Amino acid sequence: MLLVLSEEHKEHLSFLPQVDAAVVGEFGRIALEFLRRGASPKVYEGAARKLCVPVEMVQHGVEGLMFLMTESSKHMISEVDFLDSVLVLGFSEELNQMLLQLYLQHHSQIRSILSHLPSSVPAYHNLEWRLDVQLARRSARQQFIPMLTMRVHLTRSDGHSDFNSRILQTDPSTLLHLISTLEAALAAMKTGHARRILRNIK
């Protein structure tokens, strides 16, 4: 699969051949840091000063490089396709090889970062439970009501590391029903229908 680069993108990347190879490597590193931690304007300013070019050129160059890397990683482009795609930029062979190396070294990392991006539903993290028996209340003594109290820890949907928790309370018969429903759900994975689908995905 070939990447199609927009005109604007090509213009941004045209900055790259004007600097020497070591700088391109440095830009690659900055682009990856950008992916991991977000942009840092100070780094752009420092680079722009050293190369005597305007800050926007540096910023566009790095962003263009980063976009190239993410698009390639997203589509899992093979080496040959990657080289063909950057051929249209008209860079030197050496520069093309550098870009290819950058891509090959980092594409699995980039894919794992990208896979964390879309927000997901809250997911199960941990469960604490407690079994008690209510013996009396203000209006009624001599009771015997067993209850299970649970606190479910869920990961937050925006991927932050802190957890939501929900408090749930149930009586034993509902609990048994809950358990049997969940076991039925687990057993559904082993039916022929589910197995056929899984086999075809693999």
Partner 1 sequence: MNLDCPDWVLAEISTLAKISSVKMKLLCAQVLKDLLGEGIDYEKVGKLTADAKFESGDIKASVAVLSFIFSSAAKHDVDSESLSSELQQLGLPKEHTTGLCKSYEDKHVALREKLRETSLRLGRLDSVSWRVDYILSSSELREVNQPVIQLKLQRQGAESGAPETTVVSVSADKFRVLLAELKQAQVLMNSLQ
Calculate the CA dihedral of residues 33, 36, 38, 39 and round it to 10 degrees.
10
Nearest to 21 by CA among 76, 131, 95: 95
Residue position matching structure tokens 């820890």? 153
Tell whether residue 141 is a contact of partner 1 (CB under 8 A): yes
| By the rule CB under 8 A, 10 interacts with partner 1 | no
Largest CA distance in the chain: 88
Residues numbered 156 to 195 that lie near partner 1 (CB under 8 A) are 165-167
Query: Mask: binding to partner 1, 78-117, rule CB under 8 A, as x and -?
Result: ----------------------------------------
Sequence letter at residue 54: P
**74 is an interface residue for partner 1 by CB under 8 A:** no
Which residue, 101 or 164, has its beta carbon nearer to partner 1? 164
Report the residue from 29, 125, 151, 195 that binds partner 1 according to the rule CB under 8 A: 151
Residue 125 near partner 1 by CB under 8 A: no
**In whole angstroms, how close is the CB of 31 to partner 1 at the nearest point?**
29
Q: What's the min distance (Å) between Cβ of 186 and partner 1? A: 17
Burial class (CB in 10 A: 0-12, 13-18, 19+), 103: buried
Contact 26, 43 (CB under 8 A): no
Amino acid at 87: L
User: How far is residue 9 from each of residues 3, 60, 154, measured CA to CA in Å?
Assistant: 12, 9, 41
Of 51 and 154, CB closest to partner 1: 154
Number of residues that bind partner 1 (CB under 8 A): 13
Exposure of 46 in the CB half-sphere (CA atoms within 13 A)? 8
129 binding partner 1? (CB under 8 A) = yes
Q: For residue 110, which amino acid is it?
A: I
Min dist CB 136 to partner 1, Å, is 6
Whichever of 104 and 168 has its CB closer to partner 1, that residue is 168
Tell me which residues touch partner 1 (CB under 8 A). 128-130, 135-136, 138, 141, 149-151, 165-167
